[in-house]
Structure 1
Amino acid sequence: MIVAAVLFTYAILLSTLTPRLLRGAHWTERAPRLGIVVWQALGVSALTAAALAGLALTVPTVRVSADLAELLQACVMALTAQYASPGGAAAGAAGAVLTLAVLGRTAWCVGHSAVRIRRARREHREVLDMVGRPDTTRGIVVLDHEEPAAYCLPGRHRRTVITTGALRVLDDDQLEAVLTHERTHQAERHDAVLAWAQALTHAFPRVPLFRTAEAEIARLVEMRADDMAAARSGRLTTAAALLAVAGGRAPAVALAAGGSTASRRVRRLIEPCRPLSRLRIVAGSLTAAVALAVPLLVVGGPAAAATQSNYCPNGTPADQVTMMR
């Protein structure tokens, strides 16, 4: 019961306080990839803690025996002792519902989102194959459209799409920056990162952590792609390229170089580059690692302590049930 309470409290605090502390944090803009990892780790940690809290209520802690038969006997007696009382049965049922609800809702939303995105990408890819012109030299698909736009269609059959309007306004260096931006999205599977964040928000729309994480990750993946383009083509060249395609529209299942965050990203590229210090990078990495480890440590601590002793001594079943309590 104590383990379940600790895990549930941890999940609540993480889901409500973290968004207030980290939303719009400037350090994430200086290390976008680390920021993405931290937000993902926090979301997974909260989800794991909630699921394990329910599991801890459902399955009582069993003291470990070196003998398999005695261990199984201890498990049966522990379950019998817990569910014999109305309170224990209610707690166990509530824990089972919580765990199944968290895992089932997550699995359903992730699966539904994956099917929907795959279908939409396939349909858009079929349209591109009909109306687009492949440019094998650049490895892109050219779309006849006056509006300057650039986007990538991720997935196994990926496409990088540039409109004729964008080709007219971009010089060679700016075009290379845009292409590097889109290829970074594809190489680092930013589509999968965003899909996971969106699925969690859809599954638990009232959880502040998931809502904030989705918005922050959507912003940071674009900044990460900007940084890779700037490393190849220069910050000012990349900023000019983003301005040129900022107003371009892209399908919902694609990742575009422009978009609603373009103005803030252009200002970021124009400002002097201030990489995050190594100490802060280590601190951020440790934060992500600790967030992932806390639920496992809370559950694993009592289990590890239980392995130090044989808790199935000889005696009557009643005596053993009493000792397990």
Structure 2
Amino acid sequence: MIVALSLLAYAVVLAGAGPRLLQAGSWADRAPRLAIAAWQALTTAIISSVVLAGIALTFPTVQVSNDLAALLHSCVMAIQAHYASPGGAAAGATGAVLALAVLGRAIWCLAAALSGAARERARHAEALDLVATAGPRTGIIVLDAAEAAVYCLPGRRQRTVVTTGALQALGEDQLDAVLAHEHAHLAERHDLILGMARAMAAAFPAVPAFRSAAAETARLIELRADDAAAERAGRLTLAGALLAVASGRHGHAVPAAALAAGGSGAGARIRRLIPPRSPLGRARTTAGSLSLALLLALPVLVLGGPAAAAAGHAVCPTAADGTGIEVSVR
């Protein structure tokens, strides 16, 4: 019970304080890739903590420091001792329902979101096959539309779409810049990252942390793609290109499942590109990465404890009559 309550408390603290900590200061704009990983880690840690709390209630067989060993070895007699009492049986059933409900809901919504986006992209790709033409460069197709838009369709049939309005509005260097932006989206599979964040927000709408994660992830993947494009084409060139493709309305040209260069928060992104880049620094990036690893590892450590302590701890019978069994139900 102590382990389960500790894990649930950890999830509550992360859900409450995590978004405020991640949104404090300007570090995320300086290191969008690390910030994306941080929001992913926060979401994963909250869900895994609740699921592991349910498991701890279902299989509370040994002392806190040896839970993982007992769970792995599944000492049948220790589990029977726990479920012999009405309170133990109720706790075990509650834990099983909690773990299965949270994990099942997360998996179901993730699968539904990704499959729905894939179907929408497939429908749009079929329409493009009918109306789009080959572009002036390899890997792009041209859509006849007055609106200046550049976007990509991730998935098995990756496509980068440029409207005729964008070709007229962009110079050669600017076109290179927005194409590099879209290539970064495709290469780093930002569609999957954003799909996961939005799926968790839809799965657990009562948790504000997941809504913040979805909104911030949508913003940060654009910043990350901007940084990748700026490395190839230059920051000011990219800023001018974004200004050109963000000035028009994209409601009819860009499908919802696509990732567009002139998308989320274009104005703020353009202002960010004007001054020279100020990276976070290797030391702070390393410290942040280690913090994320600890954030994810802590729930497992709380549930498992040191395996070495469990090695010499007798949790199962040593004789046929059960003599020597040590069961400590928590």
TM-score normalised by L of structure 1: 0.92
TM alignment of 1:70-109, pairs within 5 A = 75-109=75-109
**Which amino acid in structure 2 is aligned with residue 263 of structure 1?**
G
Q: CA deviation at 1:304?
A: 4.7
Q: CA deviation at 1:76?
A: 2.1
CA contact (8 A) 1:61 1:303 kept: no
Percent same amino acid among aligned pairs?
56
Q: CA deviation at 1:259?
A: 2.1
Pick the aligned partner of 1:272 from 271, 276, 287: 276
- For residues 130 and 324 of structure 1, the distance between their equivalents in structure 2, rounded to whole angstroms, comes to 66
SS in 1 for 2:205: coil
- For residues 252 and 154 of structure 1, the distance between their equivalents in structure 2, rounded to whole angstroms, comes to 12
- 1:225 maps to which residue? 225
Post-superposition Cα deviations, 1:181-218, rounded to whole Å, max 9, x if no partner, equal: 00000000000000111111111111122111111111
Confirm or deny that 1:117 pairs with 2:126: no
Confirm or deny that 1:320 pairs with 2:320: no
- For residues 128 and 42 of structure 1, the distance between their equivalents in structure 2, rounded to whole angstroms, comes to 38
Q: CA deviation at 1:2?
A: 1.2
CA contact (8 A) 2:61 2:82 kept: no
Structure 2 unmatched ranges of 5 or more:
67-72
Post-superposition Cα deviations, 1:44-90, rounded to whole Å, max 9, x if no partner, equal: 111111100000000123488xxxxxx66xx2222221112121111
Q: Report the number of matched residues.
A: 318
- 1:32 maps to which residue? 32
Cα 1:260–1:193 change in 2 (3 A) is closer
Q: CA deviation at 1:138?
A: 3.4
- 2:236 maps to which residue? 236
- 2:176 maps to which residue? 176
- For residues 328 and 304 of structure 2, the distance between their equivalents in structure 1, rounded to whole angstroms, comes to 21
CA contact (8 A) 1:242 1:257 kept: yes
CA RMSD of superposed structures (Å): 2.1
- For residues 20 and 292 of structure 2, the distance between their equivalents in structure 1, rounded to whole angstroms, comes to 17
**Which amino acid in structure 1 is aligned with residue 313 of structure 2?**
S
- 1:308 maps to which residue? 312
Deviates more, 1:30-39 or 1:242-251: 242-251
CA contact (8 A) 1:16 1:207 kept: no
TM alignment of 1:154-303, pairs within 5 A = 154-246=154-246, 247-249=248-250, 250-301=254-305
**Which amino acid in structure 2 is aligned with residue 98 of structure 1?**
L
- For residues 62 and 316 of structure 1, the distance between their equivalents in structure 2, rounded to whole angstroms, comes to 20
- For residues 212 and 189 of structure 2, the distance between their equivalents in structure 1, rounded to whole angstroms, comes to 20
**Which amino acid in structure 1 is aligned with residue 162 of structure 2?**
I
TM-score normalised by L of structure 2: 0.91
Q: CA deviation at 1:137?
A: 2.7
- For residues 24 and 143 of structure 1, the distance between their equivalents in structure 2, rounded to whole angstroms, comes to 41
Cα 1:322–1:227 change in 2 (3 A) is closer
SS in 2 for 1:206: coil
CA contact (8 A) 2:19 2:212 kept: yes
